[in-house]
Structure 1
Amino acid sequence: MTATDNRTATDPPGSASTTLYSYDLAPTKKEGRRWGAYNVFTLWANDVHSLGNYAFAIGLFALGLSVWGILLAFVLASVLLFLLLTLSGYMGHKTGVPFPVMSRIAFGTKGARIPAAVRGIVAIAWFGIQTYLASAVLNALLVAMFPRLQVLETSSALGLSTLGWITFLALWAIQVLIVSYGMHVIRKYMAIAAPTTLITMCALAIWMFVRAGGSISISTSQPLTGGAMWLQILQGAALWVVIYGTFVLNFCDFTRSAKSRKSIIGGNLIGIPVNMLFFAGIVVVLSGAQFKLDGRVITSPTDIVQTIPNLILLASASIALIILTIAVNLMANFVAPIYVLVNLFPQKLNFRRAGLVSAAIGLVILPWNLYDNPVVVNYFLGGLGALLGPIFGVIMADYWLLRKARVNVPDLYTDNPDGEYHYRNGYNPKAVWAFVPAAAISVIVALVPVFEVVAGFSWFVGAILGAAIYAVIGDRKPEFRDVDGEAIAVAAE
């Protein structure tokens, strides 16, 4: 029994390899799928409103985009994301398998560890960073409520204050506890966190609008115009998609439990275009109202929350931001590395144990030091992020263009040389040949200063190149059988 579900998994079929199959990696049974449209919507209701996303969106205002420019950027981004995430989500619903197993279709049963590892490393780093950001909000709240605690900010160890350690470890432990109960508890947590987040952020925007006298500044004192404005709009839309470059890869980790395609479409439709425009509206109100009040461009909602004069309202807003950040972390940065680790060590790790290992790594890397080091964030995490586009391109081209969505699910779990996805000793050299040049160009565009003007489009450059190269050199196999995963599925959620 594992944390994924409270029912015992069936034994793997005779054709499955113990190095490729485990309860948590097996495809979900149709009767075990409980994610409806509302659950898919709560993914976006939480994730879109993360503190990092607010900082990014408010930054567009600081760069000179007007209110209308910001709204247009998010319209373009939401349309692109809706298409990409629906394509990715359908794959999860069709096969019922998590991302590390899905990657085997294109990269091979062993080669799939490459894209899974890239996704996992990025996720673990951001898990630690997001936990640190949430702990900073909790620090400010505790000091406001109990001023004597400020003395704990004067001493530090390994770059973090004593109070910082206390709050970080507390939030870290809460997330580990939630994950230890599996995906069904994560689903329930997000269902509660989503309305809390939406109501809080809406109330904060209304409060700021009233404070500003019922109007806001449409732009900064030096707004962008002409070609510079349109370039920034396109860059903003592209970078918003890049932020979700990780999620479009492992969206199948969640949609494998979706009840139907309608659940994915409905949840994505409300959660992405509608919810993102709601998010954009809050952003322009918060930033425009603050700029009208004192000519200051804020960097995140925490700047506003900390100015709330009423302690009860301050506590409510701060707790809502913490609940939000935990929700974002669970779905975007915790689930992915868990499945990566289970995929690497299926005989030793289950969902719960892999969660503990992921959390431990997220702690020992001292994420506050990563966050405070622009070189690490921009070059290490930025470089890894640029690799996600080519991975997505190769997988999408393989699944949709070459295989026409036909997958032999049982062969995803066999190391038999005659298996569909064994390729050459478990690696598909053609997927690697498509990935390497696309990844190299994507990283160069993202990190080399001479390409700074188009750096925001690096994910698209990599994805398009990876898909195009693989579509040309990959093998078309129309004889592939459309095998139902129920043959080796388990009753997992």
Structure 2
Amino acid sequence: MIAVGLGFKASIAAIVVGQLFISIPMTLHGYIGAKLHIPFPVLARSSFGFYFSYFAIVSRVILACFWFGIQTTTGGNCVREMIKAIWPSFASFPNHLPASSGATSQSMLCYFIYWSIQFPFLLVHPSKIRYLFILKSILTPICGISLMAWAFHRTGGGPIFSNPPTLSGSAAAWQWLTGLNSVLGQWSTLAINIGDFTRYARGPREQYVQPFVIPLAFTFIAFMGISVTSASKIIYGEYYWDPLQIIALWGNSPGERAARFWCAFSFTLATLGTNIAANSISAGNDFNALLPRYLNIRRGSILCSIIGGWVLVPWYILANATRFLGFAGGYTVFLAPIAGVMSSDFYLVKRRKVSVPAMYRPTSIYSYWHGINWRALVAMLVGCIPCFPGFLHNIEPSIGGKSVTYMFSISWLYGYFITAAVYWTLSTLFPDTRSLLDAMIYDDDDTIPDHESIEGVGSDGSPEKRDESTPKAAEAGF
């Protein structure tokens, strides 16, 4: 945001507001996952219908594979900086690949090393590698704070905050909304499938802190990033939003090499944890829902690593395919309405009273009309169509004029809240009485009051009791 003309304060304000908004669906959907212990693909069936839910699932799995590859490319770059810190001569590693490949022999070697290190972690259940996530949660913030301290030391601190904005008036206002939309879009995928992770929680109470923790934690991370990016302009003469680009500019003195290795190692852990938690597990759940007879969550994660890591050639995408990056960046046009339907359906329409067993059957109360909930379809169209021209413009700037970017600048806010309102209105005027229950149904032979806890449900729909140390229900199907 600073690079396109917004000031430091305006950028931070956009991030704070964005995190406050995104914490709403994250908390709402995180509660559902922790309460029912079901993943996003299963929950989507109750909102969209058994077959229409595949649209939401496919939308999510495409991005999961895409971002898996992008994160793996970033991890390969981290490995490159670590090797250069140990052996500076690696910077002159000979290249035998053509420029059209979008990669060099050096970058491909580092990419393969990182992918090979990452792959075994996909075979292990997340609960068994919790110490990796603990280490990541300790080292990465320390690294970020250290980089911020370095930025303040090199610049004296003051110039970072006094960098004047280059935009004013309506141009600044629309750019601020665009920045807000990018913050919301960054977390849109997690907002709809956070249940893939909260299903491992012991209960829903852990979700109540998210509206407070998410804005504080994410804003602090963004503050560090904006500080370092602003400092790069003062130190190097241009903005570097990627910290790896900054540490690559450091010298080869023993202290600088040690600092480069430390930062690159911390970022390697960060990308590894992100790919395992946010991408491979999500894709594994989605592939499991699409092909349950052949793929469990582990096999789905492996498939994601192959598709995202190699089939999509992510290094080429980053080097050349700006249109595809525009497509991925603007995909919030579809994700925000999906989140709006899910929130409205569970809390406003069904009032937290759903049947878990019915979500696993093609012909059940959630089959609606031939497996399609037409209310969700209409609401999705209302939420998507006005912003779609801006989405196309984001991919190909020659499509449409500047006017289409205005609606796209508020696509998440419009898509989430308007879709939720339209869905609730249609469900109120034309209710599907079969799916409106008086109590939550956990098992075919058991109906429990809404206030009681649910022990869990396996990926095949069978109830399983949870062990107090590890939620076995969430582990089923992995």
Bin for the TM-score computed over the shorter chain = 0.7 to 0.9
User: Whole-Å Cα distance in 2 between the matches of residues 244 and 190 of structure 1?
Assistant: 19
- The residue type paired with residue 429 of structure 1 is W
Counterpart in 1 of 2:125? 182
Q: Does 1:492 align with 2:434?
A: no
Task: Determine whether 1:66 maps to 2:47.
Answer: no
Residue 441 (structure 1) aligned with residue 386 (structure 2) = yes
TM-score (norm. length: structure 2) = 0.83
- Residue 75 of structure 1 is matched in structure 2 by 16
**Structure 2 residue 348 is the aligned partner of structure 1 residue 377:** no
Describe how 1:109-120 pairs up with structure 2 within 5 A.
109-120=50-61
| Structure 1 residue 85, shift from structure 2 partner | 1.0
Aligned position for 1:30: none
1:322 matches 2:322:
no
CA deviation string 1:284-340 (max 9, x = no partner): 321333333354322321232223342111111111111112222222222211111
Query: Corresponding residue for 2:290?
Result: 344
The separation in 2 between residues aligned to 1:386 and 1:327, in whole angstroms, is 27
Does the alignment pair 1:483 with 2:441?
yes
Per-residue CA deviations over 1:80-111 (Å, capped at 9, x if unaligned) read 12222111111112221000001000122222
Cα-Cα RMSD? 2.3
Distance 2:297 2:129 in 1: 12
SS at match of 1:483: strand
| Alpha-carbon distance in structure 2 between the residues aligned to 1:180 and 1:268 | 32
1:292 correspondence with 2:292: no
Tell me, what secondary structure is at the counterpart of 1:156? coil
Count of residues paired in the alignment: 430
The answer on whether the counterparts of 2:81 and 2:261 sit within 8 Å (CA) in structure 1 is no
Supply the distance in 2 between the matched residues of 1:273 and 1:131 (Cα, whole angstroms): 27
Structure-2 change in CA distance of 1:87 and 1:483 (3 Å): same
C-alpha distance in 2 between matches for 1:150 and 1:223: 37
Letter in 2 for 1:266: V
Alignment of 1:47-446 (within 5 A): 60-150=1-91, 152-156=93-97, 158-185=101-128, 187-220=130-163, 222-267=165-210, 269-270=212-213, 272-309=214-251, 310-362=256-308, 363-372=310-319, 373-379=321-327, 381-382=328-329, 384-415=331-362, 417=363, 419-446=364-391
Q: Secondary structure at the match of 2:2?
A: helix
2:33, 2:194 within 8 Å by CA — same for their partners in 1? yes
Distance verdict in 2 for CA 1:276–1:150, change over 3 Å? closer
Unmatched runs of 5 consecutive residues or more in structure 2: 394-399, 443-453, 465-471
**Which among 465, 472, 479 is matched to residue 425 of structure 2?**
472
The separation in 1 between residues aligned to 2:145 and 2:97, in whole angstroms, is 36
CA contact (8 A) 1:64 1:222 kept: yes
Offset at 1:489? 2.7
Shift of 1:222: 4.9
CA spacing shift, 1:61–1:383, aligned 2, 3 Å: closer
How many Å separate the matches in 2 of 1:85 and 1:472? 23
Distance change in 2, residues 1:252/1:286 (3 Å): same
Shift of 1:361: 0.7
Tell me, which stretches of 5 or more residues in structure 1 are unaligned?
A: 1-59
CA distance in 2, matches of 1:295, 1:151: 25
C-alpha distance after superposition, 1:239-282 (max 9, x if no partner)? 20111111101001111122233312225522x12112312321
Q: Highest relative contact order (Cα 8 Å, sep 6+), 1 or 2?
A: 1
**C-alpha distance after superposition, 1:432-480 (max 9, x if no partner):** 2332343333322333343123423222222234323322223254434
Counterparts of 2:177 and 2:296 in 1: how far apart (Å)?
Answer: 42
Deviates more, 1:195-204 or 1:452-461: 452-461
Deviates more, 1:90-99 or 1:137-146: 137-146
% same residue:
25
Shift of 1:411: 0.9
- Counterpart CA distance in 1 for 2:142 and 2:210 is 19
Compare 354-363 and 454-463 and name the one that shifted more: 454-463
TM normalised by structure 1 equals: 0.81
C-alpha separation between the residues in 1 aligned to 2:48 and 2:422? 14
Inter-partner Cα distance in structure 1 for 2:329 and 2:197: 25
- C-alpha distance in structure 2 between counterparts of 1:192 and 1:267, whole Å: 21
Change (3 A) 1:333 1:402: same
